[in-house]
Chains A and B, each alone.
Chain A
Amino acid sequence: MRQATVNKVLTYSVVDGPGNRLVLFMQGCNFACKTCHNPYTIDPCTHCGACIPACYSDALQMVDGKVVFDETRCDQCDNCLKACPISSSPMVSMLTVADVVEITRQYLPFINGLTVSGGEVTVQLKFVIELFEALKSAPDLAHLSRFIDTNGHLGKDGWARLLPVTDGVMLDIKALDPDKHRFLTGQHNRKVLQSARLLHEAGKLHELRYLVIPGHTDTKAEVDALIALILRLDPNLPIRLNAFQHHGVRGAATSWPKATKPVIETIKSRLFQADIPNVITPALYL
């Protein structure tokens, strides 16, 4: 049975789609964002073992050349993350579709649906399709909404396979200007913008997310381009403005200024002025 590398399963989340969500954070991403707040979900573990001595609660062991993680011993000190030479994480689980279905059943009364996030979901596309198919075909689970949170770096054929079993997509727009996008993420944004159109046409674009990074994505040109994109799609589309903050961020971006409430509110009012009414702003700022 196909397995996925899962960094974390949350059974309570109110920020990953409608209602309370069970959220699967997948390990591995095809972007390398400078502003990533969970950079240890980007690269897969190479099982070098450098993290094992850093773990004082003995939650990590080398078994047959692989680092094995015992979640019950972990007290989330994150020392292993600091010890990892490639900024990955050994705190991952290998889960089958049946495993996730089982967890979902356990928490069924508490959840409105399931959201797969990351890392980047679509890197493990086949697993996600199989999981959603399993949820959709189980009579007791079919009512759960199936959402993904994605960077949109997926082509037409991939979406064609994923969308029939997906109810909604939350799509991150990292930047509108291709050079800026490449600077921030390491990738071109052609596929992302294509995905936005395709998802909207399929009626599956639940929310656009835009990370406001002062000095980078709050410039007039960027916000104008964002407005133009939204207006081409649908002015009533829910737009979530996320505030860049330093929690978890590594490298140069830690010296970039955080997005404060006034910065976010300024962009929100610009969107309002462009007749884009459904703008969601952070409930709190760090």
Chain B
Amino acid sequence: MPTTTEKFRRIVEDKTLSFSQKARYLAIEAENSLPYPALDDETAQALEDRVICDMYEGNAPYKPRYVLPDYRIVMQRGSDYLELPAPTTLDEAINTLMIAYHHVPSVTGIPVYIGQLDDLLLPFCEGVSDDALYRKIKLFWRYIDRVLPDAFLHANIGPTDNRVARTILRVDAELKQIAPNLTFLYDPEISSESILEQATNNIVECSKPHIGNHPVHAATFDERGYGIVSCYNALPIAGGASTMPRVNLRKVAECANNVAEFFDSVLPRYMELGFRLCEARIDYLFNKSSFFNSFLVDEGWIERDRFTVMFGVYGMAEAVNILMEKGGAQGKYGFDADANAMGLRMTQQMSEIVNARALKNVWRGRAMLHSQAGISIDKGTTPGMRIPYGTEPDPVSHIRALAPHHAYYTSGISEILTVDETIKNNPGAMLQLCKGAFQAGFREFTANVASNDLVRVTGYMIRLSDVARFQACEGSRTNTTVLGTEAAENTGILDRKPRVVGVELAPSYGQ
């Protein structure tokens, strides 16, 4: 292990990092040279073994993981601290937001929430022509991508059908930038069918926006509202999430001798250790870090008692398959009724445990369950509740298998559904898929068009991994041995690229 100063020097001299990336990694390493908040031995061991994980948020929590300012405050009153008057024109409004973003902390140093943009900007749009609005939004979008280049930075629009939301969708499809990420909140009672269609057409075009099931989310939060941020987390406005521990369900299942032991003692035990980890981190943030001595609190952008904890879980597929095997059964998660029932039982039990465990300095005194999407270092573990890559069924079957879980993951369930490129000739199918998902109980609908292993070609679904295997001269179990190399050459479809790049995915230097 390099010493701390050696590590600093490696970062400073790293030829691949930009100046600002070096500054960020130096800050992370400096924080991590401090001792961790005091943990009991059992919690410390579980963290060391990574059965529970702190998402590498840092040793001395001096900022919440996610902050969702109520930007209405600065838009209506301006800011004394920032010496900003309340904006009166669209230019001033956008300028105010651009300034505000620089004062919003998060785990990455870049804000994860940039506001319910249509609500914030609509009051300033009277008398602004469609063309002027389009040009201003386009410049705003360019600014965000170039100055705050993080895929987890997230804008929200909807559920009403309005000029700003329409213009944002138009610009977003045109520019196809990584930042900002975008969520359209859909409410069948409020949103028009045609704006939902524009949103799902955009998904086909650029895999954005994410679509949130507004009535379901609204019922989970209060009248102050909620926002969808980062990788599809639903959190209270004027607050956020202090921290997100996560439990690796695969490792928990490996620790259990049998199914009964898993449910009766091992899972509850590791969840309790996850809560203790939260408590230690929250205690430091609230009582030592001085984070809340901030103009953000003084001026009402955020409130100390509106920060929840996202209790993340992932690796459901592996956990269920391990337990099925320990119970002498064959069925696989996602395909077998018994295996799926066990997965749902796990979700229900975790939800009960989260709802029963009181936590201090947490919004409503309880954590919120979250199906966690994974970070770059995860190996052999499938994100959240998802059916593993390479074995997933078609999107409709996938949605139907996951839908029963959605009710329990109140702070979000980050499932990115992969849809093959043939949908590009038929975007109406995406609209129907989205509506079907919501009717089946999905909290949110996220689809990524491209790089799907399972590709529908004329009459068939084929697996591109079979093509790749064939190309590697191993032959193929399925009947695809006649496939040539053109697939890769013509479509680039085998070059799986991450849908987004984001700082959260690589939480520290060397990962």
Contact = CB atoms under 8 A, between A and B. Distances in A.
A15 interface: yes
A254 B482 contact: yes
A112 B434 CA distance: 12
Contacts of B355: none
Given A81-B479, A110-B399, A247-B482, A284 B457 contact: yes
A285 interface: yes
Interface in B468-496: 477-480, 482-484, 486-487, 490-491, 493
Interface in A259-286: 260-261, 280, 282-286
Contacts, number: 114
A232 B436 CA distance: 40
A19 interface: yes
B478 A77 contact: yes
B433 interface: yes
A285 B490 contact: yes
Contacts of A190: none
Interface string B433-458: 10111011000000000000001111
B76 interface: no
B299 interface: no
Given A12-B396, A15-B422, A107-B396, 18 more contacts: A10-B394, A14-B423, A15-B456, A18-B426, A25-B459, A37-B459, A109-B440, A110-B433, A110-B437, A247-B457, A247-B460, A247-B479, A247-B482, A247-B483, A249-B482, A261-B490, A284-B421, A285-B486
B280 interface: no
Contacts of A283: 420-425
19 contacts: A11-B397, A12-B394, A12-B396, A13-B456, A15-B425, A77-B478, A78-B478, A109-B439, A110-B432, A110-B436, A111-B432, A246-B483, A247-B460, A283-B422, A283-B423, A284-B491, A285-B486, A286-B484, A286-B486
B479 A109 contact: no
B429 interface: yes
A261 B478 CA distance: 25
A216 interface: no
Contact of A112 (B422, B432, B486, B487): B432
B429 A14 contact: yes
Interface in B230-256: none
A19 B429 contact: yes
Contacts of A164: none
A37 B478 CA distance: 14
B225 interface: no
Contact of A37 (B420, B439, B458, B487): B458
